[in-house]
Structure 1
């Protein structure tokens, strides 16, 4: 097994056929077939279901494909390190699907300007999957909310500590969040994420029984509904970044006002610590007054 075979395998998966992959890797279709056959013989398994058109990867083939990506990324990183150019290669990032995801594209663009040779690959998924992928080395780091029970091999560093706000449509009168929650239609954030549970727990603690008019699983969509007059809701500060959001009535939620944290989870011992620390600094900078500096580890 060599890297040329692995690159060919990835090309087939990406472009769909042996013929298209041959154009990408600069080989003939026959040579591509020979490389795949040699790899299958060495691994003693079938990588493709050749009865289908185009050929599909078998379950073992999918496993080898993931291995190939990891090996080639490690090869790139090792070459970069040996050249003395540590800030290069590919940074594998993950993120939960939350309002904080709005910050990541800005941070990735900023990292590109700081480190032109650094590539980034972003995957969006559930926090439990991302944490497992970081622990297994499939991701270098991931952006996740404060979580219970991080494995000891991982470190979580918050870059955002922000308040939660009760928001109401433009022109809404009132300065008492509890009175508004008891009297106005409520757009509930319904999702299996810590933020939704945090909001529901505080509403229950306040003794409020809202009049739900909708259950929505994305914070951005909730803000849109409130902006258009559907009802009131509770959202984190980072979700209120559009110019039109300045017209919303915004009141502190919770007593005292509730805050939530978003941070970067990474392995405590990893070759990308320097780059991840820089990413943390960039993200905290974009958070303004609610940014959190990274704690220095001894």
Structure 2
């Protein structure tokens, strides 16, 4: 079994299509089909359930996919270990949206200047989603937050170090909580650690959230805009607030500080990642 065959298998599993995988890899569809049949003959099991328009993984294929991804990842790690400054590879970084906006631009620019051969792939998402991606080895590292008192899953076997502290602030228009009307608190989707802080604050200060509606939003800009017009309140990091329009007068109350962790997948070691970590933690 060679690495090209593993790459083909993973591409078809991801795209659920021989045609799309072939286009992605720059190969003829017939070549992709031949390699898949050779793999299945060698393994003695069907890796896919072939439908009219889709290629879905079989039960054995789902098991094999996890190992194939590990083998490809280990191959990249090995190349990085031998020739870290010259290997053209990708560092897959996940981060919360607030971290991408307020914390990463400068260290990423410094890292790219020092390591021009390394591409950086960025994925934004809530902390729970980033943890799942790390466990599936879809990311090499991630910057995320954990709810107060929570710990990282033992099954993750990850390496984590505190990167920086975020000051979480309650943001609202003047006198918002004094009015008798129904209140609204803007939050992100479940899985966001800061949403958990917002829900805990409501439970403690507003009778378990009675009289307060949660409005799910897609971005901090949307959250800030609703808050600025008095349509809701929100909780966001002070580092993000400073990026918003400075001449909007809003009440700001510090609720707590939370660490943002730099978490790397199990066994991930490379000189380039060590350099990336130094830039983040500087």
* TM-score of Structure 1 vs Structure 2, range by shorter chain: 0.7 to 0.9
Aligned Cα RMSD in Å? 3.8
CA contact (8 A) 1:18 1:33 kept: yes
Once the two structures are superposed, residues 52-89 of structure 1 have per-residue CA deviations (whole angstroms, 9 ceiling, x without a partner) of 23544434334434433432332233233223537753
**In 2, Cα distance between equivalents of 1:188 and 1:36:** 51
**In 2, Cα distance between equivalents of 1:145 and 1:32:** 41
Q: Secondary structure at the match of 1:158?
A: strand
2:225 corresponds to = 224
1:100 corresponds to = 99
**In 1, Cα distance between equivalents of 2:243 and 2:132:** 34
Report 1:16-95 matches (<5 A): 17-18=17-18, 21=21, 29-83=29-83, 85=85, 89-95=89-95
How far residue 195 of structure 1 moved from its aligned partner, in angstroms, is: 2.2
Q: Secondary structure at the match of 1:253?
A: strand
CA contact (8 A) 2:86 2:117 kept: no
How far residue 35 of structure 1 moved from its aligned partner, in angstroms, is: 1.8
CA contact (8 A) 1:163 1:259 kept: yes
How far residue 143 of structure 1 moved from its aligned partner, in angstroms, is: 1.5
Q: If the length of structure 2 is used for normalisation, what is the TM-score?
A: 0.73
After the TM superposition, which parts of structure 1 deviate over 6 Å for at least 4 consecutive aligned residues? 207-210
How far residue 29 of structure 1 moved from its aligned partner, in angstroms, is: 4.4
Count of aligned residue pairs for this structure pair: 272
Once the two structures are superposed, residues 179-236 of structure 1 have per-residue CA deviations (whole angstroms, 9 ceiling, x without a partner) of x533376431454543233334445555787853652255613212012331333322
State which of 167, 170, 179 in structure 1 corresponds to 2:171: 167
Specify the structure having the higher radius of gyration (Cα).
1
5+ residue gaps, structure 1, are 175-179, 285-292, 294-298
CA contact (8 A) 2:129 2:191 kept: no
**In 2, Cα distance between equivalents of 1:203 and 1:56:** 44
5+ residue gaps, structure 2, are none
**In 1, Cα distance between equivalents of 2:267 and 2:27:** 40
**In 1, Cα distance between equivalents of 2:34 and 2:161:** 48
Structure having greater relative contact order (Cα 8 Å, sep ≥ 6): 2
CA contact (8 A) 1:99 1:219 kept: no
